[in-house]
């Protein structure tokens, strides 16, 4: 089993610095006020990009997207300009596999136009997709493969404290990770995950594990990412991890 990367979602430079010092591998810039994958502002992303030390990666979100391929293609081009490694987009308003594939292909084309092949697209599906008629989580690996994007992730749209592990049985999550790997795509799991969930998530062996609430003192919207909490999450995810955390520039 390889070492899973820890993705911590942040809202500003101070939170990014705390997450980096705590050992986060990927800093994910979002705006939780605007939803599960709420998009941040270009100037905020650029400021955080300037903070990133070598060896860490930066991602940003485009939002819980309705089926507006043109609008989100333009947003994706802007996100790629901000200096990120990954652009995540939630397939919230896509009711069919065909819609989701078409949407992602347009987003990918826009990102390539703005930044070439260096910026990767991550398709995000929802474990609670049945609540609002989106593409089902078990179809997300196929969607990502057909669209030719870099990877796919599962999250939760409704943030009521119900975690990914409560919404989907372990065997379904195992199949998601297995199928994603079979397509040679990056796999990620997120969705109101708590500290106590991480050993079970680690056994599922996704490439990336994403958190926000568990890294905060307070809730996901008004709370603040805390260095000690991030460090604890890193240890819980990889109990045998002993590599020192790279120094973060002041």
CB 73 within 8 A of CB 107: yes
> In the structure encoding, which two tokens stand for residue 107, read together?
């987003």
> In the structure encoding, which two tokens stand for residue 52, read together?
């990133």
Distance between CA 125 and CA 100 in Å, rounded?
10
Q: Are strands 120-126 and 208-211 parallel, antiparallel or unpaired?
A: unpaired
Angle at 139 between CA 189 and CA 123, to 5 degrees: 50
**Residue partners of 70: CB distance under 8 A and separation at least 6:** 106
Which position has the token pair 């109101």? 192
Burial label for 133, CB within 10 Å (0-12, 13-18, 19+), is: exposed
> In the structure encoding, which two tokens stand for residue 213, read together?
């609430």
Distance between CA 194 and CA 165 in Å, rounded?
10
* DSSP structure string for 113-141: HHHTTSSEEEEEEETTGGGTTPPPGGGHH
The residues that are catalytic are: 30, 88
Hey, which residues does 225 pair with through a beta bridge?
216
> In the structure encoding, which two tokens stand for residue 119, read together?
């910026």
């Amino acid at each position: 089993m390889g070492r899973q990367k820890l993705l911590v979602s942040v809202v500003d430079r101070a939170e990014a610095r705390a997450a980096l010092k705590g050992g986060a591998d990927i800093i994910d810039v979002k705006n939780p006020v605007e939803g599960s994958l709420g998009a941040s502002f270009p100037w905020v992303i650029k400021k955080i990009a300037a903070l990133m030390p070598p060896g860490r990666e930066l991602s940003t979100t485009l939002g819980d997207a309705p089926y507006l391929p043109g609008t989100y293609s333009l947003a994706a081009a802007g996100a790629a300009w901000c200096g990120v490694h990954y652009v995540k987009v939630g397939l919230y308003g896509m009711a069919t596999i065909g819609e989701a594939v078409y949407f992602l292909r347009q987003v990918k084309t826009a990102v390539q136009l703005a930044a070439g092949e260096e910026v990767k697209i991550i398709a995000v599906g929802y474990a609670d997709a049945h609540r609002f008629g989106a593409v089902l989580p078990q179809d997300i690996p196929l969607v990502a493969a057909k669209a030719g994007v870099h990877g796919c992730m599962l999250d939760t749209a409704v943030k009521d404290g119900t975690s990914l592990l409560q919404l989907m049985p372990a065997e379904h999550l195992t199949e998601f990770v297995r199928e994603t790997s079979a397509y040679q795509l990056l796999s990620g799991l997120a969705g109101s995950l708590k500290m106590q969930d991480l050993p079970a998530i680690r056994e599922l062996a996704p490439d990336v594990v994403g958190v926000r609430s568990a890294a905060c003192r307070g809730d996901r919207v008004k709370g603040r990412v805390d260095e000690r909490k991030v460090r604890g999450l890193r240890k819980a995810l990889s109990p045998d991890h002993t590599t020192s955390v790279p120094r973060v520039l002041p």
